[in-house]
Amino acid sequence: MTQPPKSDPSIRSVTQQNLRAWNEAAPIHARHNLADLIEACRNPGFSCLDRTATEMLHRLEVASKDVAQICCNNGIELVSIKNMGAARGVGFDGAQGFLDQAAQLAQAADQDIEFVCSDIYDIARHYNRAFDLLVITIGVLGWMPDIAGFFDRIAKLLRPGSAIFIYEHHPVLMMLKPDRAGAPVEWELSYFRTAPYVDDSGLDYYGGELYEATPNQSFSHKMSDIIMAGIAAGTEVEHFEELPQHISNAWWNVESADIGLPMSYTLILRKRG
Ligand SMILES: C[S@@+](CC[C@H](N)C(=O)[O-])C[C@H]1O[C@@H](n2cnc3c(N)ncnc32)[C@H](O)[C@@H]1O
């Protein structure tokens, strides 16, 4: 299968099918982690964020900001961000099953957070210019069939002079077959691949449970496409750092092989004006 052209209306059919696949995974993830997460959220000041994310959010002065998380999943990171003192927290995600869990976590943390079920490409216009900071963490950009359209939509959510913070796995990893720690690192695919990855083995990256899953399609966007899409959407690069730390639920083989590849990156894009 080839990647749909950027203006193709079939982009929506890809995202809608992916969101069905995510909704199917929601109760399975909940079986693995929801009770523990609710318990953890009851601790005042709880945070699931690692040192890199925490330092970057302090640098962006999160404490006084109206923050939205793009593709917030079960909201655990947004609860942590709200616990850092964010003025407003809004989580956007297209899978209602995960947002129902997010509402339970916010309640356990006694935090007032709004969760909005929407395909990111279709976020309602009344959220335009509503935020000082957008947060995007591991496992989001690869779900976007049209990376330019994605940045174009989310940049409109920002007030002038405000920022997008991205902390993602490095796209170079998409070239390598993910495996358990100690397994060999096998070079699989081109960094310049544009065709989607189609997978029907499900999205239980916590327990590896196999179930009858709607096939999902994900995409590899090279680093230059991500940065240039941000610039085309009216932002400037304020910070970009490639990092050795492994932040995903895959590629344990690459981490353990310690071959010096970038495993993740942080990027801050600042809206012009
Ligand atoms: C791997 S999770 C990452 C979220 C977060 N970083 C985390 O670790 O919990 C990806 C999320 O993106 C959401 N998603 C994927 N495509 C989307 C789209 N087109 N619109 C809205 N949400 C989407 C899924 O529902 C899922 O919750």
The verdict on the CB of residue 93 being under 6 Å from ligand 1 is yes
Domain 10-271 sits in CATH 1.20.1630.10: no
For the cut 60, the answer to whether the pLDDT of residue 4 exceeds it is no
Mean pLDDT computed over 84-94: 98
pLDDT at position 201, please? Answer: 85
CA distance 248 to 255: 10
* Greatest alpha-carbon span in the chain: 49
The verdict on the CB of residue 150 being under 6 Å from ligand 1 is no
The set of residues, in sequence order, having a beta carbon less than 8 Å from that of 238 and lying 6+ positions away, is: 163, 268, 269, 270
For the cut 50, the answer to whether the pLDDT of residue 1 exceeds it is no
Task: Find the 171 Cα to ligand 1 centroid distance in Å.
Answer: 17
Q: What is the pTM of this model?
A: 0.95
Q: What is the pLDDT of residues 183-233, one digit of tens each?
A: 999 998 999 999 999 988 888 877 777 788 999 999 999 999 999 999 999
Task: Find the 146 Cα to ligand 1 centroid distance in Å.
Answer: 15
For the cut 80, the answer to whether the pLDDT of residue 41 exceeds it is yes
The verdict on the CB of residue 216 being under 6 Å from ligand 1 is no
Residue among 11, 34, 37, 71 to mutate when testing ligand 1 (max atoms within 8 A of CB): 71
CA distance 267 to 152: 17
Task: Find the 82 Cα to ligand 1 centroid distance in Å.
Answer: 19
CA distance 271 to 261: 30
Nearest to 273 by CA among 138, 162, 173: 162
Residue 99 is classified by DSSP as H
The mean pLDDT of the chain is 94
Beta pairing partners, 240: 267
Q: What is the pLDDT of residues 139-173, one digit of tens each?
A: 999 999 999 999 999 999 999 999 999 999 999 99
Mean pLDDT computed over 131-146: 97
